[in-house]
Amino acid sequence: MATLIRMPEVAAGATEIVLSKWNVAVGASVKVGDIIAEMETEKAVVDYASDAEGTVYKILVADGASVEVGSPIIILLGAGEDGSAGDALIGGSAAAPAAAAAPVAAAPIAPAAPAAPVAPPVAPIAPVDNGRSFVSPIVRKIARERGVEISQIVGTGPQGRVVRRDLEAFIASGAVATPTATPTLSASSELAKQEYSSSYVTVPHTGMRRAIARRLTESKSTVPHFYVTADCKVDALLELRKSINESSPVKISVNDIVVKAVASALMDVPESNVVWNAEAMHKYESADIAVAVTTDGGLLTPVIRGVEKRSLSNLSMEISELAGRARAGKLRQEELEGGSFAVSNLGMFGTKEFTAILNPPQSGILAVGAASPRAIVEDGQIVVANIMTVTLSADHRAVDGALAAQWLAAFVKRIENPLSMLV
């Protein structure tokens, strides 16, 4: 039986997804579970496994095309079927893959009763549907924000749809209308304006930047954050790290030990290893911890599973491997999902202390500052020690103040006695 496969919702809430690359060609045999394409969401590259089997008859979307969720992307034929069965699935049309350089033309519908002859358009008009531009909702929203008239853009998506790629190319071409000019200034005023006014370059938002803005705005607006701060004496930690790195082929970072201490504290205070859910609290038995990674496009938080069971060397290699793929844009969607806790470390940039915003549904995130020599009182004497300030941001729906303080005390105990995490 012929099968029409549509663009799946590979990421929660996504309305449009880029089909990065097909792994099959026309005539190829496909089985259930075969990886037939790579799809790019706002934060990750996702391998798409077919949920049907058959022979590839038509590929309806070209590599690199931005496709709305639910749109047809490929047709498979069953054993013994010919092309008529596949064509019937799309109304007999022989749709070609959508490509950036080959927009699909469609005639505009004429007005019912024009009051006067209508002049021909001066630029190609995007396909219309009942007088409206054929455009995905997300593109319509961005165009409205940027003041772009959709009818000026030629669509290159399926059936001539105006997709995000078309909008960004149109904006980059400089064809966006400029605001009406203000009254002419005097020569001296204009000269002063040119001398002292600032200039800037408009950088369009990436999908990742929009996702970060949306999620963190939602988090800060809807999740009741509260904060608990502590100073940790890390002289023993630094000595242990030095000793390990002198003999181990795997170099351990301060952040590796911090992540391990977070997991140990979650095991010490299991009531804190929870996630708020509208129906019930989800209490985790394992420490799955997200680690913030800075990339050129923004912040990503891949999740390391079962941190409490890992050795420091194994944990270090896992964090390094995930961070490398994050910067290369090669993370899979499932590697960005889950976890009850996160770690954000700005100590390597010299930041003394800061607070972090929760990444829902996680209930806690630890903001880690730089370790530096400070004067402290110890046994009634003023001494110098290496101190690291950490701040826990917690979701008050899942974690009460006393519980957060208990967890932070457990973390401080672990980080100040790092050998306890190795036995």
Which class in CATH covers the domain with range 3-89? Answer: mainly beta
Q: Examine the pLDDT at 85 and tell me if it is beyond 70.
A: yes
Are residues 259 and 341 in contact, defined by beta-carbon separation less than 8 angstroms? no
Q: Same CATH topology for 128-172 and 224-421?
A: no
Residue 355 CB partners (closer than 8 Å, separation 6+): 227, 367, 391, 393
Q: Examine the pLDDT at 162 and tell me if it is beyond 70.
A: yes
| C-alpha to C-alpha distance for 78 and 53, rounded to whole angstroms | 7
Q: Examine the pLDDT at 226 and tell me if it is beyond 60.
A: yes
Q: Which of 47-51, 170-174, 346-350 has the highest mean pLDDT?
A: 346-350
Catalytic residue (one of 205, 225, 282, 396): 396
- The Cβ of residue 210 has, within 10 Å, a number of other Cβ atoms equal to 14
The β-bridge partners of 129 are 132
pLDDT of residue 195: 60
Least confident of 156-165, 293-302, 387-396: 156-165
Q: Does domain 128-172 have CATH number 2.60.40.10?
A: no
Indicate the angle between helix axes 164-172 and 137-146, nearest 10 degrees: 20
**In 200-259, at which residue ranges do the beta strands (DSSP E only) sit?**
225-233
Confidence of residue 208 (pLDDT cuts 50, 70, 90): confident
Q: State whether residue 132 is helix, strand or coil.
A: strand
Q: What is the mean pLDDT of residues 261-287?
A: 95
Q: Which of 144-153, 214-223, 328-337 has the highest mean pLDDT?
A: 214-223
- Catalytic: 396? yes
Percent of the chain with pLDDT over 90: 50
Q: Does domain 224-421 have CATH number 3.30.559.10?
A: yes
Rounded to the nearest integer, the mean pLDDT of the chain is 82
Whether the full predicted model's pTM is greater than 0.85, yes or no, is no
Q: Is the torsion defined by CA of 89, 91, 92, 93 positive or negative?
A: negative
Q: What is the mean pLDDT of residues 63-84?
A: 88
Q: Examine the pLDDT at 153 and tell me if it is beyond 50.
A: yes
Q: In the numeric block, which tokens belong to residue 302?
A: 């891949």
More confident residue, 132 or 42: 42
pLDDT of residue 128: 39
pLDDT tens-digit series, residues 244-255: 999 989 999 999
Residue 30 CB partners (closer than 8 Å, separation 6+): 24, 36, 50, 52, 53, 54, 55, 56, 76
pLDDT tens-digit series, residues 101-138: 333 333 333 343 444 443 333 333 344 344 444 666 67
pLDDT tens-digit series, residues 2-18: 899 998 876 655 677 88
The closest of 285, 289, 260 to 270, measured between CA atoms, is 285
Indicate the angle between helix axes 254-268 and 401-416, nearest 10 degrees: 130
Q: Examine the pLDDT at 193 and tell me if it is beyond 70.
A: no
Q: In the numeric block, which tokens belong to residue 26?
A: 């026309």
More confident residue, 399 or 105: 399
Q: Residue ranges per domain, the chain?
A: 3-89, 128-172, 224-421
Residue whose structure tokens are 């959508």: 98
The two beta strands, 341-345 and 289-291, are parallel
Q: Examine the pLDDT at 366 and tell me if it is beyond 50.
A: yes
pLDDT of residue 58: 92
Confidence of residue 185 (pLDDT cuts 50, 70, 90): very low
Q: What is the mean pLDDT of residues 354-376?
A: 95
Least confident of 2-6, 229-233, 385-389: 2-6
pLDDT of residue 76: 93
Q: What are phi and psi of 102, to 5 degrees?
A: -130, 75
Are residues 81 and 89 in contact, defined by beta-carbon separation less than 8 angstroms? no
Q: What is the mean pLDDT of residues 137-150?
A: 76
How many residues comprise the chain?
Answer: 423
Q: Examine the pLDDT at 53 and tell me if it is beyond 80.
A: yes
Q: Examine the pLDDT at 235 and tell me if it is beyond 70.
A: yes
pLDDT of residue 270: 96
